[in-house]
Amino acid sequence: MDYNQLYNNILRKGSFLCTGLDSDPALFPAFIREKELPIFEFNRAIIDATIEYSVAYKPNLAFYEAEGAIGWEQLKMTVEYIRKKDSSVFIIADAKRGDIGNTAKKYASAFFDKLDFDAVTLAPYMGRDSIDPFLKQRGKWAIVLALTSNPSADDFETLNVGETPLYRRVIESVMDWGSQDNTMFVVGATRPEKLAQIREFCPNHFLLVPGVGTQGGTVAEVAKYGMNSSCGLLVNVSRAISFAWMDDETGKYSGGVNFDKAAGEAAALIVKEMRCFLAS
């Protein structure tokens, strides 16, 4: 998928929502935990309920790896299921990998060839060697960590390197290595004022924005400061969709009955707000 195809999908669905699949079995409703393939069963129900609202999905690999080989198998089944439901969906491996040339090539092969992901999240610390191998396949993307949404992002990401913070140096370097058709950046929703600053030197690239929902960011602020003329945003929401039933205070979903319905309602509400900004 290239930049324009992604933008067209956003327009067609009226959504720039990426549904995160941080599918932690410890949090599943009991009747899902009992299944033979609980992660896949959980994901399938969430996907069915959210596919009309989601322009992208982002499985977080830690939750699959923590289950060993059977977790990896369910990751594969999840990607295949999404593809079958809607082949236009952009699927991101939230892997945050970063390694030297021959190792990076192997990771690219794992995610792009064996698993049919469209994109992989990458850590930039080791430099260009660790990004380049992900830019070799047409239509596949590297999504590079820039300014993340966690509290300790200030330990290194915002340190000044000369006159500019490290995250800006990362973004400007990666912009040179790839194009807006194969690179985007992770910028947390928890610092909307930074989104505006980033748009000054990175006006066109897509940004993958986590931190809306549980972490406190809002769609309105992200859209106000981060949107460009091609939308340029994928806003990721994980827990506030997949585990919406846990935060519901009406008692309607107690015990996780219809957890998928709760997820669908949460996604619908987010997308309703997104449509206001896409239309304006």
Binding site for its own copies (CB under 8 A): 22, 24, 60, 62-63, 65-73, 76, 96-104, 106-107, 109-110, 114-115, 123-130, 145, 148-157, 159-162, 166, 169-170, 173
Q: Annotated catalytic residue: which of 96, 105, 114, 136?
A: 96
Q: What is the 3-class SS of 180-200, one letter each residue?
A: CCCEEEEECCCCHHHHHHHHH
Please state, in angstroms and rounded to a whole number, the distance separating the CA atoms of residues 114 and 206: 25
Query: How far apart are CB 132 and its own copies at their closest, in Å?
Result: 8
Query: How far apart are CB 130 and its own copies at their closest, in Å?
Result: 7
Pick 10 or 241: Cβ nearer its own copies: 241
User: Are 151 and 198 spatial neighbours (Cβ–Cβ below 8 Å)?
Assistant: no
Residue with tokens 């596919």: 51
Mention every residue, 6+ apart, whose C-beta is less than 8 A from residue 74. Answer: 37, 39, 40, 43, 64, 67
> Is residue 58 among the annotated active site residues?
no
Query: How far apart are CB 142 and its own copies at their closest, in Å?
Result: 14
Please state, in angstroms and rounded to a whole number, the distance separating the CA atoms of residues 15 and 140: 21
Pick 126 or 268: Cβ nearer its own copies: 126
Pick 51 or 144: Cβ nearer its own copies: 144
User: Are 48 and 276 spatial neighbours (Cβ–Cβ below 8 Å)?
Assistant: no
Pick 126 or 269: Cβ nearer its own copies: 126
Residues tagged active-site: 96
